Structure 1
Amino acid sequence: MFRQPNSHLLRRGRYSETGRAYLVTAVVHPRFPLFSDFHLGRLLVAELKRAHDSGMVNSWAWVIMPDHFHWLFDLNDATLADVMRQTKSRSTLSVNRARRSRERFWQRGYHDRAVRVEEDLRKMARYIIANPLRAGLVERIGDYPLWDAAWL
């Protein structure tokens, strides 16, 4: 099992508030570009959609980058820890099934940021989905296949 230095500090002060918007980021260890494979990226998308469809969250925007993902959502009927545990666990199972592997690939923990009421969710969503542009993966957002936002 791999541990990131100071990963335990990510949990300090974490609080789940129903109805609050959160921006979360989870990273593949050791920044391996696992989701460069479109099929594997779509398996992760299915897990984000499952969390939304089950009522745990209300998704606003997400992007799957080659070695991490960003996800903006309102927390509904679950804790932040439950959402991330289920999403990472289920995606590990489906990705490993497709790869015929048993490896753990997510770094421990995740980064979360509670969104303040006065912050503009659309502006945050635009920032999230522009990640492939800033990373130089595409020249136009529409050319990148692994993103979505509620405001289309």
Structure 2
Amino acid sequence: MQNIRLLIGRTSSVGLCYILTTVVDGRAPLLADDAAAALAIREFNRLDQEGFTRSIAYVVMPDHIHWLVELRAGTLENVMKRFKSRTALQVNRSLGRIGRFWQACYHDHAIRSDESLYRHAMYLTGNPIRAGLTTQLGEYPHAWCDWGVENCSDLRSCTETDG
């Protein structure tokens, strides 16, 4: 069942950047599998190539994804439907499983300035450190940022949790 609160005020504007987050059903760590994570990353790239999005940063965590993206065509809903349906089919097949893969909802947050865009990208790429999956930016194999992690001038701000 979709959480109606996530739909309140949702708009899709081509040209705006968004952080999109979606969670594996039941928070199962199905994306901890390297092949499964690679399939999700392949789908980010595919949506870029199809002209719907321009990826700026992403991280595929064991039980969820964060994707910082510029919407280039269509709506957020359409992009997420494509992403979730394609990855669910591919990952389920890869893992030899059937059934629901993603939770029904997703979260979106519009980014309103270039400075905020960079800050959000660096925060997103620090997610694996905060989760204890790695100790350094750039070590986690399922994270990417258009700026590259070497350009993060303040490592501490990238890896701390919001207070």
Do Structure 1 and Structure 2 share a fold, with TM-score over 0.5? yes
Structure 2 counterpart of 1:104, which letter? R
2:55–2:67 CA contact under 8 A, matched in 1: yes
Q: Which moved more, 1:97-106 or 1:111-120?
A: 111-120
Helix, strand or coil: the match of 2:27?
coil
Q: Which runs of 4+ in 1 moved over 2 A?
A: 117-120
* 1-structure distance, mates of 2:133, 2:114: 32
Helix, strand or coil: the match of 2:138?
helix
Q: Deviations over 1:31-67 (max 9, x none)?
A: 1111111111001111111111111011100000000
Consecutive unaligned residues of structure 1, counting only runs of 5 or more, are none
Consecutive unaligned residues of structure 2, counting only runs of 5 or more, are 149-163
Task: Note if 1:90 corresponds to 2:115.
Answer: no
Normalising to structure 1: TM-score of the pair? 0.93
Q: Deviations over 1:57-107 (max 9, x none)?
A: 111000000000000011011110010000000001111111222211201
* 2-structure distance, mates of 1:60, 1:102: 31
* 2-structure distance, mates of 1:119, 1:20: 14
Question: Which runs of structure 2 are paired with 1:126-145 in the superposition (5 Å)?
Answer: 126-145=122-141
* 1-structure distance, mates of 2:117, 2:9: 23
Choose between structure 1 and 2 for higher RCO, CA contacts under 8 A separated by at least 6 residues: 1
RMSD: 1.2
- Count residues in correspondence: 148
Report the identity percentage: 43
Q: How far did 1:118 drift?
A: 5.6
Normalising to structure 2: TM-score of the pair? 0.87
* 1-structure distance, mates of 2:144, 2:138: 10
Structure 2 counterpart of 1:150, which letter? D
Q: Deviations over 1:8-32 (max 9, x none)?
A: 2111111000100101100011111
* 1-structure distance, mates of 2:27, 2:86: 20
* Alignment match, 1:48: 44
Q: How far did 1:119 drift?
A: 4.3
Q: Which moved more, 1:79-88 or 1:101-110?
A: 101-110
Q: Which moved more, 1:134-143 or 1:88-97?
A: 134-143
